Amino acid sequence: MERIIAFIMSIISFISMILPFPVAPQTDSVKFASSLGAGWNLGNTLDSWQIPEPDDTEICWGNPKAEKALFSLLKESGFNSVRIPVTWFQHLDDDGNIESEWLDRVNEVVDYVIDCGMFAVLNIQHDDQDWLITDNEHERSATETLVKLWKQIAERFAGYDEKLIFDIMNEPRVVGAETEWQGTDEGRQVVNRMNSAALKVIRESGGNNADRYVFITGYAASDLEENFTAIEIPDDPHVMISLHYYPGTAHRSEFKDCEEKLTLKQKYEIYKKLRAFYETFAAKGVGVCITECGWTDRENLWNLADRAKYVVRTANRFGFYCFVWDNGADFMLIDRNNLSVAYPEYTKAITNQRIR
């Protein structure tokens, strides 16, 4: 009987995946999100925070300083967007003002990306290791710092056009809590209120920020249904949703890395998750992107590419795109030291190019 039920479920899964994919209402938010194309994360660079010396900020996690040639390579490799994770807390004075040298350097990297013809996504990354604590006890102080930080960033980039996107928070959560990744109702509502406060100061900061596209996220940017369905979507046509999804990696995974290709059951689980993202946001006219995804398995490269291809192509069929996480180490795509594509088949899968 169990085999019969499993067989019936596999047939249902297969049929659901081959049916025509729905088309979201073509609002400005949905259309803009779908224009971002394949994305890449400049991981473990401007976001490093365990800094032995202030001048080591970019290189202390093992990567070289980002230069324009890197972004030219990304553009040539099929990427259309670059997410620039930035950790700010070690570059703030006692009054919450950003060090001018640090803001200048962030600005320089943003310009590299845009000058290479790509979209740049600028965020707040690991400040959850310091002041960004999303519970009731810390909400007031965290919101004050968040608002002051985004006011300075927004004013600096007010003259930039739609090629620059703001990503308010990375994975807002309570680091070290028993429910750090699962979240609580309290944490989910704190994140919603902090999103609202930051969005307000961005919109009021002048220049092109009144209509700039902005990513908001839920608790921990989580793919858990109780977290992403709790996101309060503002009445703002230029807001999009940022979610993180790591299926088949060594951490925060639904499936362990394996030597075999995805089974039908695993494909269906991925399909269901991506469809839930679609129905929660895109179907309601809100653009959505998976701003972090990735795989660590480098022992089975062909199967790695096969898994990546399935996730990316399924997301694309729902009308949204993926930004791969690249930390220069176990999640590497690009060899930044030699300015070369370290894993061509994996990279082609992420950028939805034809692979063998």
Q: Active site residue: 171, 186, 269, 279, which one? A: 171
CATH superfamily of 23-350: Glycosidases (3.20.20.80)
Q: Active site residue: 58, 139, 292, 345, which one? A: 292
Distance between CA atoms of residues 89 and 266, nearest Å = 40
**Contact (CB, 8 A) for 21 and 318:** yes
Distance between CA atoms of residues 196 and 37, nearest Å = 27
User: Per-residue pLDDT for the chain (356 aa), expressed as one digit of tens each?
Assistant: 656 555 555 565 556 556 678 899 999 999 999 999 999 999 999 999 976 665 678 999 999 999 999 999 999 999 999 999 999 999 999 999 999 999 999 999 999 999 999 999 999 999 999 999 999 999 999 999 999 999 999 999 999 999 999 999 999 999 999 999 999 999 999 999 999 999 999 999 999 999 999 999 999 999 999 999 999 999 999 999 999 999 976 554 455 555 567 888 889 999 999 999 999 999 999 999 999 999 987 777 778 888 899 999 999 999 999 999 999 999 999 999 999 999 999 999 999 875 44
End-to-end CA distance of the chain: 39
Q: How many other C-beta atoms lie within 10 A of the C-beta of residue 264?
A: 13
Residue 53 designated active-site:
no
**Contact (CB, 8 A) for 174 and 221:** no
Residue 171 designated active-site:
yes
